Amino acid sequence: MSGPFKNSPGGEDKDVEAGTSSFTDYEYEDSPFDITTTKNAPVESLRRWRKAALVLNASRRFRYTLDLKREEDKKQMLRKMRAHAQAIRAAHLFKAAASRVNGITSSPPTAGGGDFGIGQEQIVSISRDQNIESLQELGGVKGLSGLLKTNLEKGIHGDDDDISKRKSTFGSNTYPQKKGRSFWRFVWEASQDLTLIILIVAAAASLALGIKTEGIKKGWYDGISIAFAVLLVIVVTATSDYRQSLQFQNLNEEKRNIHLEVTRGGRRVEISIYDIVVGDIIPLNIGDQVPADGVLVAGHSLAVDESSMTGESKIVHKNSTKNPFLMSGCKVADGHGTMLVTGVEVNTEWGLLMASVSEDNGGETPLQVRLNGVATFIGIVGLTVAGVVLFVLVVRYFTGHTKDANGAPQFVGGTTKFDHVLDDLVKIITVAVTIVVVAVPEGLPLAVTLTLAYSMRKMMADKALVRRLSACETMGSATTICSDKTGTLTLNEMTVVECYAGFQKMDPPDSSSKLPPAFTSKLVEGIAHNTTGSVFRSESGEIQVSGSPTERAILNWAIKLGMNFDALRSESSAVHFFPFNSEQKRGGVAVKSPDSTVHVHWKGAAEIVLGSCTHYMDENESLVNMSGEKMAELKNDINDMAARSLRCVAIAFRTLEADKIPTDEEQLSRWVLPDDDLVLLAIVGIKDPCRPGVKNSVLLCQKAGVKVRMVTGDNIQTAKAIALECGILASDSDASEPNLIEGKVFRSYSEEERDRISEEISVMGRSSPNDKLLLVQSLKRRGHVVAVTGDGTNDAPALHEADIGLSMGIQGTEVAKEKSDIIILDDNFESVVKVVRWGRSVYANIQKFIQFQLTVNVAALVINVVAAISSGDVPLTAVQLLWVNLIMDTLGALALATEPPTDHLMDRAPVGRREPLITNIMWRNLLVQAMYQVTVLLVLNFRGISILHLKSHLNPERVKNTVIFNAFVICQIFNEFNARKPDELNIFQGVLRNHLFVGIICITVVLQVVIVEFLGTFASTIKLEWEMWLVSIGIGSISWPLAVIGKCIPVPETPVSQYFRINRWRRNSSG
């Protein structure tokens, strides 16, 4: 259907629940609840919406929001602890200097270590005070390792007995955590609701007055009934909140549980950070978090960011002689090395910090803020209605228009006793306060945390760990995903499948017989030293290769060529490293042989390394000049391999005079490896196949209105080939600028030009992390909600800048993970798409709950107001309204906010960040159901006795009110099914898969039968005959066909809320 109207079951398949996602030009009012993102939001904005919210129970409402005061207190505490640590260190340095002047030597305590040559107190003192003199007295790192029974090359033995002894002597790498809130704390917080407190007071007054006026046998009914209903609400609410809290605790534990490699028994093994022990040898690379206190064994260009401990953004260069101490919690900014662990748990400064700072559940989410706005608006309406009802009932009571069960006026001036008047007034106030309980949706904002807790737990099974709550829902609004290639779109299972060496193609690529010994010797020497990986050969001869996928592929290839990894590394020594980084796209090492010959080996992106080569070594071991013709031929070979989606890596070297290498350690750390005049040895093509199913995932995203862009450091031809294979590029005709672009071209444009072409970019090859950041910024300026994947340290700015940062769980560095919002545990693009589904599911589930809750709100309020004004009585009593509130609030949220995502969610456009929460379709469904319920129940209220033929009944009024209550609750049970599918005709699809929904429906039905049939005294009901049950069920069941008819009513595309905003803007403009 074209034009301003649409039907939800048919017609155009747009964002039916959330409206359209296009970026509108409407003017928005300056609402404190209008916060599109809480990521890096100003504190003033967060403080502003809190002040504007109408809150009855602050401790519960703000439980999962950022505690602004505690956040400031935490920062101050960290500053104090850092200052304290620095003061201790400064005092020690001053003392050491004074001792040197006076010729006095001091050493730390020398307590024995039981099974070890050094005790915990002594080693902790050395690490904490960074006492280099004491370390040297022990014989340096080598002497310390001997005392700790650690082999600096092979690590500790690592058997159970060895680990147990180390833990008992030096402690384990855990720190005491503050206990989570107990169940009774949640009960206490749930009871802090102002309206529930008033009801408890009213129940106590009603109990006292009832016993005084009617005696102990009957007088306790009303008071105890209200008190029991309030208690039930508190217990159910607390139970739900407590379960959520446990889920968040488990997720926080997962976030802290970092996995890393250590060297034990001569091989690298992956363990949890909690399993690290003193004496462990740990390799450190760029982006790693230092997992415990320790000393540097060996390192090359190792630089550490100690800002997390010192508070100063200063990169500190480490070396094994002058500054070897490493502090737990710091990040490796550059270089690589190995460390010896000297302190764990609270014996480290990081452990002390973590023990003193409780885990935070993250800040509030945008949806939470907006729901607080909705709850505030509804609450104001509810308070107004309750005030009107209270006023009308009190006036009618004192004017004699309120009748008792016998039809006589309840109040007669000068006749009615004061106790009776007080009892009647307490009942009137109780009804008014209960209306407030129902009207103010205190649980509405908390429904977000309920669905997020459920979603986050389920997302763990889908290989996604949510670090920041808001990211889960923001993912539902994502309009573009900037994805890495390697490991995300591809399998990350790399193999060398093609090789050019000595200017000839080797077939097969690992045929060592085709290469002369001297050629092979230089090639494997460079591979063995210029790597961050390692090779372990067991006694049985089994070979285990570790490192990144690219490193493993090249090491495995070199092993087939005859490389003896350990022998090569022991025969010659690495003098200086230039670690591989994504900016330079290459890495190098200077290696000194026993005969003092120095070779500088380089390895990296083929065309970049090739550009620095002036010679190549041929099959006769002769150095041949690299002519322009030869260079062009090799570039064609590289392009040919890249076009077949191979990653091309070049390996080259050059000889260097030994006297050109600085001898001073400080000068050596600043020395730049020469990268000119290189001799090309080999170019290898590494195959990394596309992940199966990734093409379908990309097509699913495109169908859902989410554009997938590949941003990779690989060759532009490799990127193009993979993009075609994945479906990011539809055909070769799409592979032209700006659709396919190189990073250096994109960064050369001005900001305006980048903004203009960023929309069209599908693939960016040979990009640097800064190019990725520029692309993210351009897309955000264009109004996009951007999700970005990243794994390297240099990706951190882009992950931070993006609306949703997605780091890789396997290949990602700790720096990247810390800056991200969600960790993709299996590095798989399909898991990214599942996160999009879950994000949309969060939004859709909240909308289902809002529709259901507002229907109950509107119906309950209208029925009680109309009845109170017209007859002076309300058909729904306080206890009944509290039961309705329980169905509507806690049980409704559990049933609807935990719906699993469906494929239907991916058939619509992304949810616009400024789209109204209550869409036109929801208004239509809500009004249809509420009008039906109000009409039927008011008819029963005024004509029920005659319609239901109750005149002959002993207590017709009570039967009528019970039928109204019963029909009202059953209407909500039937309408809960309608709320599952606000825009679909088949409301039963997948219902049996949601066991929680089915369980809650069954529990609600059973409890309703119990309340009506067995708790009449408490709930002011009476046992109903089967005919009245059929009438109640019949009234409720009509809501199903009514919902089908309602969904065929067209609704305008422009949200209703926009009309009010536009009119307000026009009035303000004309004023």
Q: Any idea which residues carry the catalytic annotation?
A: 484
Please check whether residue 180 is in contact with residue 239, taking contact to mean a CB–CB distance below 8 angstroms.
no
Task: For 735-790, give the secondary structure using H, E and C.
Answer: CCCCCEEEHHHHHHCCHHHHHHHHCCCCEEECCCHHHHHHHHHHHHHCCCCEEEEE
C-alpha pair distances (Å), 1044 with each of 696, 936, 1038: 33, 19, 10
Residue indicated by tokens 């879950």: 838
How is residue 887 annotated by DSSP?
A: I
Contacts of 399 (CB under 8 A, 6+ apart): none
Tokens of 744: 């250096």
Q: What's the number of CA atoms in the CB half-sphere (13 Å) around residue 201?
A: 9
Closest CA to 241 of 60, 15, 507, 430: 60
Please check whether residue 1019 is in contact with residue 887, taking contact to mean a CB–CB distance below 8 angstroms.
no
Phi first, then psi, for residue 270 (nearest 5°) are: -95, 130
C-alpha to C-alpha distance for 1066 and 1071, rounded to whole angstroms: 8
CA angle 884, 888, 890 (to 5 degrees): 110
408: left (phi over 0), alpha (psi -120 to 50) or beta: beta
* DSSP state string for 532-552: S-EEEE-TT--EEEES-HHHH
Q: Is 290 helix (H, G, I), strand (E, B) or coil?
A: coil
Long-range contacts of 32-35 (CB under 8 A, 24+ apart): 32/373, 33/369, 33/370, 33/372, 33/373, 33/376, 34/370, 34/373, 34/914, 35/366, 35/369, 35/370
- Quick one: CA dihedral 876, 880, 886, 887, positive or negative? negative
Find the helix packing angle between 878-886 and 956-980, rounded to 10°.
10
Please check whether residue 340 is in contact with residue 448, taking contact to mean a CB–CB distance below 8 angstroms.
no
C-alpha to C-alpha distance for 193 and 173, rounded to whole angstroms: 42
* Alpha-carbon dihedral 417, 419, 423, 424, rounded to 10 degrees: 20
Q: Is residue 312 exposed (0-12), middle (13-18) or buried (19+ Cβ within 10 Å)?
A: exposed
Closest CA to 327 of 289, 273, 354, 358: 289
Written as one letter, the residue type at 818 is: E
Alpha-helical runs (H) found in 981-994: none
C-alpha to C-alpha distance for 706 and 157, rounded to whole angstroms: 51
- Quick one: CA dihedral 443, 449, 454, 455, positive or negative? positive
How is residue 155 annotated by DSSP?
A: B
Phi first, then psi, for residue 43 (nearest 5°) are: -60, -35
Tokens of 294: 């320790």
C-alpha to C-alpha distance for 372 and 471, rounded to whole angstroms: 19
Alpha-helical runs (H) found in 26-181: 43-52, 58-61, 68-102, 120-129, 132-137, 140-147, 160-170
Tokens of 476: 């539902």
